């Protein structure tokens, strides 16, 4: 959920989205460590662990809109984003939906996104994927990105033993691949709680760590108008956090139904990660 995590969880990343006017926009993410023999070892691990999305049939994962530059050896999650082809437009914004799938709120969220023509990235919990695999299949079939949000959403995540961190990420990755038809390319830590070992596991398991810039704290049900006002503060290059799981999401649905068209009228273009 959107509660604060450890010391590394909320540092900002520089988004390079096409023009000088957007260069200062913040995207949260982290990449693989670099430097000498360690970089070579981790690069080899990424090649071994990463699973390429199959050509249809079966389904392919949507191509990521951004790729991340390497993290420093000190694991400081601050670096510039690089454009990839196709490059995101200068007015790009990314909506991420966490903690599902949920049998009531995920279908309603998918219907809402389809109505407004908005692609999104769903950070799903493996235990919920196990219960509702058809919902994950529907998310992927609609062209949204499916990201790994651990198997059971334990918190504080960074305080767990290394073996538990690895297992939470790896088991959810397998569950998502089985349901979506492709291995997840992105990982979001519960609560945005990061540490060096989590970044290493992202590299070894072939995933890119992502966080967020705009958090309306919809998981706390503060009221639809409160959520809407927070969403409307989003700008080019931002990653926006919302939820379709973890509780009653009627307020989130109501807020997004007003905020999505308003943000599009401002000239923002929604992209999945």
- CA atoms of 71 and 52, how far apart (whole Å): 23
Q: Is 130 helix (H, G, I), strand (E, B) or coil?
A: helix
| 98 in catalytic set | yes
CB 240, CB 95: distance < 8 Å: yes
CB 128, CB 102: distance < 8 Å: yes
Give the list of residues 6+ apart from residue 134 with CB closer than 8 angstroms, or none: 179
Among 91, 21, 9, 27, smallest CA distance to 239 is for 27
Q: Which residue in the list 98, 211, 238, 244 is annotated as catalytic? A: 98
| 243 in catalytic set | yes
Q: CB atoms < 10 A from the CB of 135, how many?
A: 22
Q: Which residue in the list 4, 243, 244, 248 is annotated as catalytic? A: 243
- CA atoms of 28 and 116, how far apart (whole Å): 25
For 241, list phi and psi in degrees, rounded to 5: -105, 125
To 10 degrees, what angle do helices 133-141 and 162-180 make? 70
Which sequence positions are flagged as catalytic?
98, 243
């Amino acid at each position: 959920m959107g509660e604060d995590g450890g010391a590394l969880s909320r540092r900002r990343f520089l988004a390079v989205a096409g023009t000088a006017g957007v260069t200062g926009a913040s995207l949260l993410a982290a990449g693989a460590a670099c430097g000498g023999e360690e970089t070579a070892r981790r690069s080899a691990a990424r090649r071994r662990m990463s699973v390429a999305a199959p050509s249809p049939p079966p389904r392919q994962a949507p191509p990521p809109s951004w790729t991340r530059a390497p993290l420093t050896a000190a694991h400081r999650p601050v670096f510039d984003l690089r454009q990839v082809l196709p490059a995101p437009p200068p007015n790009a914004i990314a909506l991420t939906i966490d903690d599902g799938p949920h049998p009531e709120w995920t279908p309603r969220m998918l219907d809402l996104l389809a109505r407004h023509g908005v692609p999104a990235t769903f950070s799903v919990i493996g235990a919920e994927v196990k219960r509702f695999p058809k919902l994950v299949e529907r998310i992927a079939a609609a062209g949204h990105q499916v990201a790994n949000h651990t198997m059971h959403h334990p918190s504080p995540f960074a305080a767990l033993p290394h073996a538990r961190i690895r297992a939470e990420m790896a088991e959810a990755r397998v569950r998502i691949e089985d349901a979506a038809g492709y291995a997840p390319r992105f990982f979001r830590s519960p609560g945005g709680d990061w540490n060096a070992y989590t970044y290493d596991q992202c590299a070894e398991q072939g995933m890119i760590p992502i966080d967020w810039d705009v958090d309306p704290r919809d998981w706390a049900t503060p009221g639809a108008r409160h959520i809407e006002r927070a969403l409307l503060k989003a700008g080019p290059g931002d990653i926006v956090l919302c939820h379709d799981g973890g509780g009653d999401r009627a307020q989130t649905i109501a807020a997004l139904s007003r905020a999505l068209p308003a943000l599009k009228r401002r000239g923002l273009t929604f992209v999945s990660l």
